[in-house]
Every structure is written in C-alpha cells, then in structure tokens.
Amino acid sequence: MSAMNSKNIIVPTLVIGATHDTMDPKYMEWMSKEFPHGEFLLCPNGSHMCMYDDQKVFFDGLIRFLKQKS
C-alpha cells in the first residue's frame, strides 16, 4: 500500500491482524498507522480466519470500533 494513497482515506479504518495469519501482524499494525484515522486490532489466537478462530477478540474489537465511530 502506498503511503500517499492511504493518507487520502479519511474515514475511520480498522485494520485487523492475527498472530497465526500468513500476513505479518506487525505489517498490519504499521498499515493501520498509515491511515489518518486508522486503528489496529490484534487477534492473538487467530489465523487468517480470526472471525472464526478468535471470535471473542474479533467481534468485541469490531463492535467497540463501530460504537466509537458512530
């Protein structure tokens, strides 16, 4: 992701990473900081399908983010 492009996305953005994902969670955290209103959620017991294998962290974090931004 180009830093120049991500800076143009001004809506609140939640980037979700998981410890056991093939996508590096540290990169996902970095990516969240590239958005002006970005936040990062780590699912410590999750994989690429963390909405299934780390449901509590995923949905608690998602709902918190949505409530915070509404």
Query: Rounded to an integer, what distance in angstroms lies between the CA atom of residue 15 and that of residue 37?
Result: 11
Across the range 35-54, mean pLDDT stands at 97
Predicted pLDDT of residue 19:
97
Mean pLDDT of the chain: 93
% of the chain at pLDDT higher than 70: 94
Please tell me the pTM assigned to this model.
0.88
Q: Answer yes or no: is pLDDT of 60 > 90.
A: yes
Check if the beta carbon of residue 2 is closer than 8 Å to that of residue 8. no
**N- to C-terminal Cα distance for the chain?**
27
Domain boundaries, the chain: 3-69
39-56 as b/e, with b when 16 or more CB fall inside 10 Å? bbbbbeebeeebeeebee
Across the range 24-48, mean pLDDT stands at 96
Predicted pLDDT of residue 66:
97
